[in-house]
Amino acid sequence: MIVHINHISQSKSKAGKKSQLGELASLVTGSLVDLVEGGQLDPRIAPSLRIHLDWIQYKTNFRDPVIVRRTTDAKGKALSLAEVAIDLRQCQPTELPQQLERAIKSVSPNATGNDGRVYLDDYKPYRECMIWDFNRLFWRHLGEWEAASGRGFEAALPTGQSDANRPDAVHDSVVEFWQLLKELESKNQLPAEIPILEIGVGAGTRAAAWIDGFKAYDEANGTSYYDRIQFILGDYSPDTLARACASLGRHKEHITPAPLDALNPFKALSTYRFKILYVHLTNVYDNLPFDDLVRRDGRLYLVEVRAYMSAAAADQLEADFGVSRGDIGSVMSRLIEGGPHAVFAGDKGVAFWRAFWDYFRLEERLRALDDREESHVPPGLSWSHLEDLLAESPEDVRFHISRGAAESFANTLPLLHPRGYLQVQDIFVEEMDEYRKGFKGPGKLDGSLVTWVNGALLRAVGARAGYDVHFRPFTYRPGSKTTVMYTTQKP
Partner 1 sequence: MKLPMLPTTVIGSYSMPEWLERAKNDYLSRRLSRRDLDEMHDAVRKAAIKDQESAGIDIVTDGELQRDNMIDYFTERLPGVQVDLGSKRFYYDFYDTEVRSKLATGSIGLTEEVKFLKRYTDHPTKVSVSGPHTLVKRIRNSFYPTEAEFALDLGRALNFELKEMARAGVTELQIDEPYYSGFPEDLPWAVKAINAAVDGVNVHVTLHICYGNRYGKPSFEGSYKYLFPTILDAKVHALSLEFARRGEEDIQLFKEYKAPFTLGLGVIDVKTQDVESPALVADRIRRALEVVPAERLVVNPDCGCVHLPREVAFAKLAAMVEGAKIVRGELGK
- Chain positions contacting partner 1, by CB under 8 A: 188-189, 191, 273-274, 382, 384, 387, 413-414, 416-419, 463-466, 489-491
Closest approach, Cβ 259 to partner 1, in A, equals 22
The angle at the Cα of 263, spanning 207 to 269, to the nearest 5 degrees, equals 60
Rg, Å, the chain Cα set = 25
Whether 347 contacts 357, CB under 8 Å = no
Integer angstrom CA distances of residue 296 from 49, 82, 85, 275:
12, 11, 15, 44
Whether 447 contacts 357, CB under 8 Å = yes
Closest approach, Cβ 468 to partner 1, in A, equals 11
Whose Cβ is closer to partner 1: residue 362's or residue 460's? 460
Whose Cβ is closer to partner 1: residue 240's or residue 487's? 487
Closest approach, Cβ 464 to partner 1, in A, equals 8
Whose Cβ is closer to partner 1: residue 161's or residue 375's? 375
Whose Cβ is closer to partner 1: residue 159's or residue 189's? 189
Distance (Å, rounded) from C-alpha 331 to C-alpha 318?
A: 12
**What proportions of the chain, in percent to the nearest 5, are helix, strand and coil?**
40, 25, 35
Whose Cβ is closer to partner 1: residue 327's or residue 387's? 387
Whose Cβ is closer to partner 1: residue 43's or residue 491's? 491
3-class secondary structure, 389: helix
Closest approach, Cβ 192 to partner 1, in A, equals 11
Whose Cβ is closer to partner 1: residue 13's or residue 189's? 189
Whether omega for the bond prior to residue 125 falls within 30 degrees of 0, making it cis, is no
Closest approach, Cβ 57 to partner 1, in A, equals 32
Whose Cβ is closer to partner 1: residue 103's or residue 416's? 416
Whose Cβ is closer to partner 1: residue 408's or residue 487's? 487
> What secondary structure letter does DSSP report for 345?
S
Closest approach, Cβ 264 to partner 1, in A, equals 14
Closest approach, Cβ 289 to partner 1, in A, equals 24
Whether 82 contacts 49, CB under 8 Å = yes
Contacts of 414 (CB under 8 A, 6+ apart): 266, 273, 274
Distance (Å, rounded) from C-alpha 193 to C-alpha 209?
A: 21
Whether 177 contacts 214, CB under 8 Å = yes
Closest approach, Cβ 144 to partner 1, in A, equals 43
Whose Cβ is closer to partner 1: residue 180's or residue 350's? 180
Q: Is 322 exposed, middle or buried (0-12, 13-18, 19+ CB in 10 A)?
A: exposed
What count of other Cβ atoms lies within 10 Å of the Cβ of residue 253? 8
Distance (Å, rounded) from C-alpha 290 to C-alpha 128?
A: 9
Beta strands 255-259 and 124-125: pairing type? unpaired
Closest approach, Cβ 466 to partner 1, in A, equals 3
